[in-house]
Structure 1
Amino acid sequence: MYRSGHYGVSLLLYAPVGFALLLAGYPAVALLGGAAMLSLARLPDVDLRVPFVEHRGPTHTLVFALLVGAVLGGAGYVTAPELGLDPRVAGVVGAVVGTYGIVAHLVGDVLTPAGIAPFWPVSPRNYSLSVTRADSTVANTGLLALGVLVTVVAAVVGGRIG
């Protein structure tokens, strides 16, 4: 996937989480979580700029997702009091969103023929659904539009109910 496709997948997958946070009475956490998801949407592709790291290698794994989740969970817990948030909630949301943000990227890449090996280093097996090429303008734009639509609906409905 390209940038717009990864943003779309991130929005699409985060919408139910943001909706649940709105219903639970945590609008600030829902907003921060959404911003974090979008910020993480392209993080695994940092491997394109790191020498000696294969593209769709270690940064495209569940191990990397868990590592990012642990870092963001810790950061959420530590910074929560300064933001007026419950540290436990912010820590859990940080860990979930950090992990989920990377998983959303992996979902986008598994749609392409090149796929990913998400269980590396345990298994080198590559997974691909071969739904669309990474450079497909239709797929990337369509995913972005769908992600925005679902996010807006979740925000409006969740905001009214919550």
Structure 2
Amino acid sequence: MYRSGHYGVALLAYAPVLYVLASRGHVAAAAGGGALVWVLTTLPDADQNVPVIDHRGVTHTLLFAALVGAVVGGAASLVPVSAVDGVSSATLAAGAGGLAALAILAHLAADAITPMGVAFLWPLSGKRYSLGLTPADSRLWNGGLFALGVFATAAAALLATPLY
């Protein structure tokens, strides 16, 4: 998938989280979480700029998603609790780590619909999993996934907003 397709799948994956947070009045957390997912969802493709790492190799695995989640969660645990309105350090760390992992998993899901697929289970297995629905460079799929993600995000935000 291209960047727009990855963003679309990430927005689609984040929409239910956005709804839950915003409907409970945690609008700042919903916005911050969305920003975190948006920024991290393309991280696996940084492997294209590192000569010693194969594209769709180690950065496209469940292990990498867990590692990114742990690093982000660990970093979030260092944020002073007073800096985050009414949220404990443990809640912030778990939420940020979980959303970081979600961003990477959304990326993997988007790449799994292409013929090249991804080796989710590396290093346990090098087998690539693919639905083979579309080539990564399909403008129709990338644009369609982006539009779907934007729609889902907008719908979640609107549905979470009280009408009174």
Offset at 1:25?
Answer: 2.9
1:36-58, Cα deviation, whole Å (9 max, x unpaired): 11101210001000111000000
Partner residue in 2 for 1:74: 74
Q: Which whole-Å CA distance do the structure 2 matches of 1:78 and 1:127 have between them?
A: 37
**Contact 1:80/1:90, CA 8 A, preserved across alignment:** no
Alignment partner, residue 149 of structure 2: 147
Residue 77 of structure 1: how far off its partner (Å): 2.2
User: Which runs of at least 4 in structure 1 moved beyond 2 Å after TM superposition?
Assistant: 80-85
Which residue is 1:19 aligned to? 19
**What displacement does 1:134 show?**
0.3
Q: Is 1:4 the counterpart of 2:17 in the alignment?
A: no
Deviation at 1:23, TM superposition (A): 2.6
Which sections of structure 2, spanning at least 5 residues, go unmatched?
none
Equivalences for 1:15-54 in 2 at 5 Å?
A: 15-54=15-54
On the 8 A contact 1:29/1:90 being kept in 2, the answer is no
- TM-score normalised to structure 2 length: 0.93
Aligned length: 161
Equivalent in the alignment of 1:92: 94
Aligned identity (percent) is: 47
Q: Which amino acid aligns with 1:67?
A: L
The structure with more helix, counted as a fraction of residues: 1
- Name 2:106's counterpart in structure 1: 104
